[in-house]
Structure 1
Amino acid sequence: MIIDCSNTLPEFQFQGSDEINPKNENYKKLFGPRWARLAGWTNDEFFNRIKTEPIDNVMKDVYTKLEADFSMDKFLKMLDDSNIVYHAIHNMDYGRDGSEAPADHDYVAQILQEYPNRFIGFAGFNPHKGTESLKVVRKALTEQGYKAVVIPPYEHGLKADDRKYYPLYALCDELEIPIWIHSSINYYKETSVFLDHPSNLEAPLMDFKNLKIIAGHGGWPWIPDMIAMLLKYENLYVDTSAFRPRYVAEPNSGWDMFMYYSNSLIQNKILFGSDWLTIGLPINEFITEVEEWPLKESIREKFYWKNANKVFKLGLENKQK
């Protein structure tokens, strides 16, 4: 069985392209063809259309097809067929100012209630919205069934060690709740690529002794730094989500050290995370590629579910007895 700790719902992923900051149209061009493939288009079909049409118009057609193909019933069957026993819902709170209310957490709470023991809810925090956002997160964790928190520093324009995040870290430390933090490359042209460097996780890990952090997306392209952090800090974990598995296992792709130490020193720190909806690769194909990784079988089991089961306190070990 598998626990996917980095993902969302199809309806969140395949929303209108107007939701993406127009300053970052390169995101549409990066992920658009991936989602088009998931909708059954070829690369040629997608790129030929954006040569003559606005990309927003093309993406609307892609989203329409995806909405039909990824209804909740069909989505759940995909997960069942791939033995995904828990699937993350990252309920992000985006934005670089506090002008809007905190992101709604009630809708995902309804999903968690309707499909018990199926999803892991990650509450989204926005430091620019301060106490109001913190109240929403606390309610999500203590009343609405959420089991974790998620923050994307690049979306907030802040490093993970910024003191504006510290009230959240204190809350997670108090409640013993893990927090997933984007710790890899971002593609926003107006944002430093180093804003999400794994080293920015060090101060929170030092200041909050019980804080559990999941470094999302593996720390690439700073894998040696990520490994050093994992070796040093007991409560730091990592997933390799948002990267196609066959490239993670490809020599000279930058992941070599990660693959080497996964079979030894960081075997208890690695978590399965896919973001298969984002990269446009069906989950069954994603897992097929992961199966090619040179992991020992005992460690593969840790990677697939045992480590995450411990981090999120899911109690799945009882089902194995």
Structure 2
Amino acid sequence: MFIDCSNTLPEFIFEEPKEIDPNNTEYRLLFGKKWAQLAGMSKEEFFQKAQQQSVDAVMRDVYAKLEEEFSMDKFLNMLSESNIVYHAIHNMDYGRDGSEPPADHDYVAEILKKYPGRFIGFAGYNPHKGTESLKTVRKALTEQGYKAVVIPPYEHGVKADDRKYYPLYALCDELNIPIWIHSSINYYRQTSVFLDHPSNLEAPLMDFKNLKIIAGHGGWPWVPDLIAMLLKYENLYVDTSAFRPKYIAEPNTGWDMFMYYANSLIQDKIVFGSDWLTLGMPIKDVISEIEAWPLKDSVREKFYWKNANKVFNLGLKAPVLNKNM
């Protein structure tokens, strides 16, 4: 069975945008072709349309098809068929200023209530929204069933070791709540590629002794740096989400140290995260490619669910096959 630590609801990925931030166009072009494939459109067709129309116009067509394909019922059936017993809902709070109120957490709270034992809610925090954002996160964790927190430093334009995040870290430390932090390359033209470097996780880990951090997206292209930190810090974990698994297993792609140490020194620090929606791959295909990794059976079990079970205090005792809805 699997606990997917890095994902969200299909509608959060595929919702129709009113407008596309010019700084985000690269993401739409990078991942849009993959989402188009999920919608039955070839990469060639996607790029041809993108040359003839605006990117947002093409994406609206893609989103319309995906909205139908990924209804909640179909989505839940897909999870059951792939033996995903818990699926993350990253409820991000984006933005680089405090001009808007904190992201709404009530909607996801209703889903957590409606489908108990199916999702892990990750509350989104925005350092620019200060105390109001912190209150929203505290309520989500203590009253609304959320079990984790998520932050994307590149979206906030603030490094993970910035003191603006420290009230959140203190809260997570106090409540024994893990936090998922984007720790890999970003593609924003106006944002430093190094803003999400794994080394920015070190100060929080040193300052908050009980803080549990999941380094999202594996630290690529700085995998050796993250491996060194995993060896040093007891409460640091990592997923490999948002990268196609077959390339992770190939030599000279930057993942060599991860694959080498996964079977030994970091076997208790690795958690399964797919971001299959972002990849534009059916979850069963992501899992199929990971099945080809040269992991020991005991390590594979830890990676798929045991380590995450411990991190999120889920209390799973044994594999659950094709969980009934």
TM-score, scaled relative to structure 1: 0.98
For the pair 1:246 / 2:218, whether they are aligned, the reply is no
Gapped runs of 5+ residues in structure 1? none
Q: Secondary structure at the match of 1:122?
A: strand
Q: Which amino acid aligns with 1:124?
A: G
Q: Deviations over 1:172-191 (max 9, x none)?
A: 00000000000000000000
Aligned match of 1:63: 63
Distance in 2, matches of 1:171 and 1:24, equals 31
Q: Deviations over 1:44-70 (max 9, x none)?
A: 111111111111111111000000000
Aligned match of 2:41: 41
Distance in 2, matches of 1:237 and 1:19, equals 36
The 8 Å contact of residues 20 and 56 in structure 2, kept in 1 or not, is answered as no
The 8 Å contact of residues 242 and 276 in structure 1, kept in 2 or not, is answered as yes
* Cα shift at 1:26: 1.1
Q: Alignment length, in residue pairs?
A: 320
The 8 Å contact of residues 3 and 85 in structure 1, kept in 2 or not, is answered as yes
Q: Describe how 1:240-279 pairs up with structure 2 within 5 A.
A: 240-279=240-279
Q: Secondary structure at the match of 1:85?
A: strand
Aligned match of 1:198: 198
Q: Secondary structure at the match of 1:195?
A: coil
Distance in 2, matches of 1:34 and 1:245, equals 15
Distance in 2, matches of 1:159 and 1:18, equals 29
Q: Secondary structure at the match of 1:254?
A: coil
Distance in 1, matches of 2:207 and 2:314, equals 27
Q: Deviations over 1:105-149 (max 9, x none)?
A: 000000000000000000000000000000000000000000000
The 8 Å contact of residues 4 and 87 in structure 2, kept in 1 or not, is answered as yes
Q: Which amino acid aligns with 1:165?
A: Y
The 8 Å contact of residues 184 and 197 in structure 1, kept in 2 or not, is answered as yes
Q: Describe how 1:126-145 pairs up with structure 2 within 5 A.
A: 126-145=126-145
Aligned match of 2:22: 22
Q: Which amino acid aligns with 2:307?
A: N
Aligned match of 1:312: 312
Aligned match of 1:160: 160
Q: Secondary structure at the match of 1:188?
A: coil
Q: Deviations over 1:157-212 (max 9, x none)?
A: 00000000000000000000000000000000000000000000000000000000
Two-structure CA RMSD over aligned residues (Å) = 0.9
Distance in 1, matches of 2:20 and 2:149, equals 22
Aligned match of 2:228: 228
TM-score, scaled relative to structure 2: 0.97
* Cα shift at 1:234: 0.1
The 8 Å contact of residues 19 and 56 in structure 2, kept in 1 or not, is answered as no
Q: Which amino acid aligns with 1:311?
A: V
- CA change 1:144–1:241 in 2 (3 A) is same
Gapped runs of 5+ residues in structure 2? 321-325
Q: Describe how 1:84-103 pairs up with structure 2 within 5 A.
A: 84-103=84-103
Distance in 2, matches of 1:168 and 1:73, equals 34
The 8 Å contact of residues 153 and 181 in structure 1, kept in 2 or not, is answered as yes
* Cα shift at 1:249: 0.4
Distance in 2, matches of 1:177 and 1:20, equals 33
Distance in 2, matches of 1:271 and 1:21, equals 32
Distance in 2, matches of 1:130 and 1:48, equals 44
Aligned match of 1:51: 51
Moved more, 15-24 or 156-165: 15-24
Q: Which amino acid aligns with 1:155?
A: E
Runs of 4+ in 1 over 3 A off after TM superposition: 17-20
Q: Secondary structure at the match of 1:160?
A: coil
Q: Which amino acid aligns with 2:58?
A: V
Q: Secondary structure at the match of 2:317?
A: helix
Aligned match of 2:323: none
Distance in 2, matches of 1:18 and 1:216, equals 28
Moved more, 44-53 or 148-157: 44-53
Higher percent of residues as helix: 1
* Cα shift at 1:22: 2.0
Q: Which amino acid aligns with 1:273?
A: G
* Cα shift at 1:25: 1.0
Q: Describe how 1:104-119 pairs up with structure 2 within 5 A.
A: 104-119=104-119
* Identical-pair percentage: 78
- CA change 1:19–1:140 in 2 (3 A) is farther
Q: Which amino acid aligns with 1:51?
A: Q
Distance in 1, matches of 2:315 and 2:42, equals 42
Moved more, 51-60 or 69-78: 51-60
Aligned match of 1:8: 8
Q: Secondary structure at the match of 2:139?
A: helix
Q: Secondary structure at the match of 2:86?
A: strand
Distance in 2, matches of 1:120 and 1:89, equals 6
The 8 Å contact of residues 17 and 28 in structure 1, kept in 2 or not, is answered as no
Q: Secondary structure at the match of 1:231?
A: helix
* Cα shift at 1:17: 3.8
